[in-house]
Amino acid sequence: MNHFTIKDREEVKNLLTLALTAGIAMLKNGAETYRVEDTMNRICISRTNIKNVDSFVTQTGIFLTLEYEGEVFTYIRRVKDIGYNINKISLINEFSRKFVSTNISIDEGLRMLEEIDRFKDYSILVKLFGGSLLSGFFSLMFGGSFGDFLASLIASILSLAILEKLSKYKLTFFIDRFVGAFLASVFSYLALKVGIAHSLDNVIIGTIMPLVPGVSITNSIRDTMSGDSLSGLSKGVEAILSALAISFGVGIILNFYTKGLI
């Protein structure tokens, strides 16, 4: 049976749902906007009697429109809470390639997307271990001693674990980053007091590293330079605000520390 031609309006709706589900899943896991637009357009245009496909993606929402037998269909979806999951981006990319080039029915495609959504992530402990590995070795890269390495490792695993516990209350990203950086510098300070660490600078620099919005800053500049100024701006504002939140969190402890209050 040939699935490359759309038979009725019901199927058009399903195709739109499929493209939107794929697009939202990519955007929510940290893909760039141009990649999301490209994926959705390719999925829709792969069916022969669909014309005039166009999509508009910003960091906060997706618009997708297409024409089927002289009728225009448009869907809008709002997107909130963006995280990072590189594995899912890669899986959906793979799926869209397969969907475009082989004879997969739309229902089957939707089922495959659901499977990707349920895909098992690494356990929380492994992820915390990864984050603390980043922190520990980062303080070494900035010239820290072995004690600083241990201190960053411990401080980062504790603060990330507490953040993970807090994440079920759905704090906004600003509060989340603020609390994370505050906890990171509290634990770093404690490590210095106990005597594991030797330099507060190195330990804090390592410990805040998993929170720093490096990817969003880079992606926002990339988006702006390639013409997606709207999503570039919204991503950039978010990145600058989370950098500010981190600075506030670190600044409180540093302020007390440099003035000798603690």
Partner 1 sequence: MDIILQFIYSFFATSGFSIYFSAPLNSIIPSGISGAISWSIYYYIIHTYNSKIIAIFLGSFIVGVLGEVLAIKYKKPATVFIIPGIVPLVPGAGMYYTMLALVENDFIKAASFGTETLFAAAAIAIGIIISTSFSRSIRSFKKAA
Return the number of the residue (90 or 229) whose C-beta is nearest partner 1.
90
Adjacent-strand bridge partners of 55: 64
Least distance to partner 1, CB of residue 246, Å: 7
Minimal distance in Å, beta carbon 258 to partner 1? 6
CB of residue 47 vs partner 1: minimum separation in angstroms? Answer: 23
96: its two tokens: 């869209």
SS3 of 176, please?
helix
Which residue number, 42 or 222, has a Cβ lying nearer to partner 1?
A: 222
Q: What is the C-alpha end-to-end distance of the chain, expressed in Å? A: 74
Query: CB 143 → partner 1: shortest distance, Å?
Result: 10
65 vs 254, which CB is nearer to partner 1? 254
CB neighbours of residue 87 within 10 Å: 13
Is-contact 155 209, C-beta < 8 A?
no
Q: Which is nearer to partner 1, 112 or 205 (CB)?
A: 205
Sheet containing strand 61-68, edge to edge, reads: 50-58, 61-68, 71-78
Q: Give which of 121, 113, 118 is closest to 22, Cα–Cα.
A: 113
Q: What residue ranges bind partner 1 (CB under 8 A)?
A: 30-32, 35, 84-90, 93-94, 121-122, 126-127, 129-138, 140-142, 201, 204-205, 208-210, 212, 214-215, 217-218, 221-222, 225-226, 243, 246-247, 250-251, 254-255, 258
Bridge partners, 56 (sequence order): 63
Q: Who's near 244: CB < 8 A, 6+ residues apart?
A: none
Judged by CB, which is closer to partner 1: 56, or 129?
A: 129
Select 28 or 88, whichever has its Cβ closest to partner 1. Answer: 88
Q: Rounded to the nearest whole angstrom, what is the least distance from the CB of residue 91 to partner 1 in the complex?
A: 8
Contact 42, 96 (CB under 8 A): yes
Q: Which residues contact 97 (CB under 8 A, 6 or more apart)?
A: none
Least distance from C-beta 208 to partner 1, angstroms?
A: 6
> Distance between CA 130 and CA 15 in Å, rounded?
38
Q: CB of 219: closest distance to partner 1 in angstroms?
A: 8
- Residue (5 or 90) nearer to partner 1, CB: 90
